[in-house]
């Protein structure tokens, strides 16, 4: 909790007491052994640009009265004060009705000043070249304080993907599988389930935990299970959860169940204004239109508001569900990547194993189902190294094809193709080089040594 600060314009009698709860500011005054407390909550800017808030007046611990009022309207302020003052159990010489009206007026004036503090300008300073990359929580998918939408028709596996991402991020320090995405940092996750009943989510979570090598009853991801409620109805609950549990990532399942019209630009903008106001990362699970699965259903404002979008396509082969995750929008990183998840399902209908596979791990039928031609497969296999792969080589100093492949669960031939074709690495001659029978060692490509200028040449 922040330290109490004296409000200068009120003298030394009143103290401003910032609270750790959301949208709540409090002023307290001690009068003849009693405590008078003013509280403001539920701030709102009306369409006519008049600020409103719910003002509560307490005497000791008793709520005398409260009302949502326009902060700049004297009649509304005084009406609230007069009603509250009549309820006082005892006359307080140090706090007359005139003083009470003055205090509430000053309190409302301070609130108006307080409301603009978080939106003042700042001086931005550019970043050095080596740090100009997204602040990833999960590389290629979840950026810090940014939005990512995963969209597909019903039944493709959106909820399974969302719960898998949530579990990977929440338990990043406990999952030790090289054949699944590796988050760059652990973060606390809040999963907002507006789609299914709580029991079904429990069953799915247990299966996902076990598929990722965790105990079935491993907890950590927090769930709001409120099928039937709108997002607007939950907005204060979500904000409180973020504060109470240090939430850094929200998963919303799904955008279609928010209760807002997704074809109305204003309604969609309000959804994203709310999500962005939380100042955390958010993962949205969204449906695509019935006749066109190339974009999320609804207003283009939905696509404009997020930093990344991913089209999901699936292929079912007996007990295996293959999911293609194709990036279709990217702010601040390379667009167009495709990756694949393989869900092995058991006889009970829940996944028993979840792995991340590359195109060389797809079956012929799965590759065909995703429309991958031979040239496209070749292009995907011949991609450039990812940041996580470059960082691994940097940390190790130099690696063999085998070490690189084992760490990232790449097949030997695929690892060899990546290392040989990358512009970022070169053969490290000091550790085996091209000698027959020895493993090749690769290191990050060293910068070329600059030629000396003529006035620096030792022979001149």
pLDDT greater than 90 at residue 75: yes
Domains of the chain: residue spans and CATH: 5-116 (no CATH), 132-381 (3.40.50.300), 387-444 (1.10.10)
Average pLDDT, the chain: 85
pLDDT greater than 80 at residue 360: no
Mean pLDDT of the 432-457 span: 62
Mean pLDDT of the 384-410 span: 84
pLDDT tens digits, 217-268? 999 899 999 999 999 999 889 998 999 999 999 999 999 999 999 999 999 9
pLDDT tens digits, 375-394? 666 666 567 788 888 888 99
pLDDT tens digits, 105-124? 988 887 766 656 656 788 99
Helix or strand holding residue 381 (H, E):
helix 374-381
Of 158 and 369, the structure prediction assigns the larger pLDDT to 158
* pTM of the full structure: 0.71
pLDDT tens digits, 32-69? 888 899 988 877 766 566 788 899 999 988 999 999 99
- pLDDT band per the 50, 70, 90 thresholds, residue 374: low
Mean pLDDT of the 410-433 span: 74
pLDDT greater than 50 at residue 4: no
């Amino acid at each position: 909790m922040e330290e109490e600060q004296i409000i200068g314009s009120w003298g030394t009698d009143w103290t401003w007491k910032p609270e750790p709860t959301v949208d709540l500011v409090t002023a307290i005054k001690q009068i003849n052994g009693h405590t008078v407390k003013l509280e403001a909550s539920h701030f709102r800017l009306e369409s006519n640009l008049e600020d409103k808030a719910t003002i509560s007046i307490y005497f000791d611990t008793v709520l005398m009265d409260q009302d949502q009022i326009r902060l700049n309207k004297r009649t509304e302020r005084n009406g609230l004060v007069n009603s509250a003052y009549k309820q006082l159990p005892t006359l307080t010489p140090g706090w007359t009705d005139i003083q009470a009206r003055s205090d509430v007026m000053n309190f409302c004036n301070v609130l108006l000043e307080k409301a603009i503090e978080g939106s003042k300008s700042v001086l931005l300073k550019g970043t050095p070249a080596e740090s100009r990359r997204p602040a990833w929580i999960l590389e290629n998918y979840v950026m810090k304080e940014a939005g990512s939408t995963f969209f597909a028709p019903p039944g493709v596996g959106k909820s399974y993907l969302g719960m898998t991402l949530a579990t990977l991020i929440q338990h990043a320090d406990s999952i030790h599988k090289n054949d699944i995405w590796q988050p760059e940092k652990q973060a606390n996750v809040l999963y907002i389930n507006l789609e299914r009943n709580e029991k079904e989510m429990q069953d799915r979570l247990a299966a996902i935990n076990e598929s990722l090598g965790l105990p079935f009853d491993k907890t950590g991801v927090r769930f709001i299970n409120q099928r039937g409620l709108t997002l607007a109805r939950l907005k204060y609950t979500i904000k409180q959860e973020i504060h109470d549990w240090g939430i850094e990532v929200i998963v919303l399942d799904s955008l279609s169940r928010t209760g807002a019209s997704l074809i109305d630009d204003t309604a969609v903008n309000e959804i994203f204004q709310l999500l962005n106001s939380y100042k955390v990362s958010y993962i949205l699970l969204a449906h695509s239109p019935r006749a066109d699965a190339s974009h999320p259903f609804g207003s283009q404002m939905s696509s404009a508001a997020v930093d990344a979008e991913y089209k999901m396509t699936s292929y079912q082969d007996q007990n295996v569900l293959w999911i293609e995750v194709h990036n279709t929008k990217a702010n601040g990183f390379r667009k167009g990547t495709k990756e694949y998840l393989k869900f092995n399902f058991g006889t009970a209908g829940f996944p028993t194993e979840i792995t991340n596979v590359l195109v060389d791990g797809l079956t012929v039928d799965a590759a065909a189902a995703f429309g991958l031609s031979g040239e496209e497969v070749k292009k995907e296999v011949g991609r450039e190294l990812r940041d996580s792969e470059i960082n691994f080589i940097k940390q190790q100093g130099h690696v063999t094809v085998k070490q690189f492949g084992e760490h990232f669960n790449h097949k030997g031939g695929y690892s060899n193709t990546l290392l040989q074709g990358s512009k970022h690495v070169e053969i490290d001659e000091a550790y085996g080089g091209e000698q027959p029978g020895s493993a090749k060692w690769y290191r990050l490509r060293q910068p070329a040594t600059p030629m000396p200028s003529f006035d620096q040449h030792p022979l001149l």
